[in-house]
Homo-oligomer: A and B are copies of this chain.
Amino acid sequence: MPTDDFIVTPWHVEGEIDYDKLIKQFGTEKISKQLLQRIEKLTGESHFMLRRGIFFSHRDLGRILDDYEKGKKFFLYTGRGPSGHTHIGHLVPWVFAKWLQEKFDVNMYFQLTDDEKFYSKQNMTLEETRLFANENALDFIVLGFKPENTKIIIDTKNIKTLYPIAAQVAKKINFSNTKAVFGFTNETNAGMIFYTALQSAPCFLEDKPVLIPLGVDQDPHFRITRDVAPKIGKIKPALIHNIMIPSLEGPRGKMSASEETTTIYTTDSPEVVKKKVNKYAFSGGQPDIEEHRKKGGNPDIDVSYQYLRIFFEPDDAKLKKIYDDYKSGKMLSGELKAILIEKINQFLKVHQEKREKARDKLDKYLLED
């Protein structure tokens, strides 16, 4: 890691990530065209997050498909560290997970790691992280998950189910392992050292293979799980990784839930969204209109364009037109931002309505110990 100019860990992402380099660094596999075609054949559909490389890397996805083709089903698992309100970047793997669930007709577990955020954030209490866990759960369930095949795990609430499984994992991990994988030091707290075992636990809730759609920054946890799995007689989890979603202020680093001005929350009002995008969204445009019309903008570094590509414009033809118009200088940065603001606010209007109605339904989704 020190030789590259970017850092990706579960608690810290920094620099402009070279995803091909990251694949080598982490030892994962790029999602090949063949694998893409296989998924399309099985699901009868091409998902824009796959064909655009938002999900770009995997571990053992081929094995999951092999098994599935032989009639052996898997289950899905993803999660979220509830350190604040959900931001739109968090929705990326969840929306993709929903699609996977529908297409493959499988169970889904969603883990809210209130304990982890308590351990990793100096000033947060367990009460606060538990509160955000409940809030974040609302954002998850309104994406269309059904209580019949979707269970939400809150670490402190479901610890009775998780702990005996985590204990099997923890017995096979030593401090050196956590040092090597997470860069922990002698000053790292005991909660953090143990915690990775709790993030492993949901992988073994069912006696089936698991597939985990997740941000690539979470890969180190499951590198440990994959090392431990055979030692405790379990199947290694398979992973499918999405890229880091850039913060409003630019592509260096992922959107952070703790920085209000660089993050759009699912709870933001239309006015706040408008203000945040207009004020903070990093632009690929030229300094003035004249120059922009002449030289054109750079959509590849423009955050508004990237948000459309990653999440808000699934239609390839429409996206291409925006790309071309912006690149040619025909579309100005303000116009591009206006498109994004409109898209986000359309999405959030529906999302927020459903979100409030979901409060009463939440209990049906919570895992019973």
Which residues of A are in contact with B by a Cβ distance under 8 Å?
A: 115, 118-119, 126, 156-157, 159-160, 163-164, 167-168, 170-179, 184-191, 193-194, 196-197, 369
Decide yes or no: A174 and B159 within 8 Å by CB, A115-B167, A119-B167, A167-B126 being known contacts.
Answer: no
The docked-state distance in angstroms from the alpha carbon of A168 to that of B127 is 11
Which of B159, B184, B197 sits near A159, CB closer than 8 Å?
B159
Decide yes or no: A179 and B186 within 8 Å by CB, A163-B163, A191-B197 being known contacts.
Answer: yes
Which of B172, B186, B196 sits near A174, CB closer than 8 Å?
B186
Which of B119, B159, B171 sits near A191, CB closer than 8 Å?
B171
Contact in complex: B163, A190 (CB < 8 Å)? no
Contact in complex: B191, A184 (CB < 8 Å)? no
Which of B156, B173, B176, B190 sits near A170, CB closer than 8 Å?
B190
* Most central of A159, A168, A369 by chain B CB within 10 Å: A159
Decide yes or no: A175 and B167 within 8 Å by CB, A160-B369, A193-B190, A194-B194 being known contacts.
Answer: no
The docked-state distance in angstroms from the alpha carbon of A160 to that of B119 is 17
Which of B118, B176, B190 sits near A173, CB closer than 8 Å?
B190
Decide yes or no: A171 and B118 within 8 Å by CB, A126-B164, A193-B194, A194-B194 being known contacts.
Answer: yes
Chain B residues within 8 Å of A159, by CB = 159-160, 163
Closest Cβ–Cβ distance, residue A286 to chain B (whole Å): 49
The docked-state distance in angstroms from the alpha carbon of A184 to that of B193 is 13
Closest Cβ–Cβ distance, residue A114 to chain B (whole Å): 9
> In chain B, what residue has the closest Cβ to A168?
B126
Which of B118, B171, B369 sits near A119, CB closer than 8 Å?
B171
Decide yes or no: A196 and B190 within 8 Å by CB, A115-B167, A156-B164, A369-B160 being known contacts.
Answer: yes
The docked-state distance in angstroms from the alpha carbon of A115 to that of B193 is 16
Contact in complex: B197, A171 (CB < 8 Å)? no
Contact in complex: A188, B164 (CB < 8 Å)? no
Chain B residues within 8 Å of A168, by CB = 126
Closest Cβ–Cβ distance, residue A281 to chain B (whole Å): 36
Contact in complex: B184, A175 (CB < 8 Å)? yes
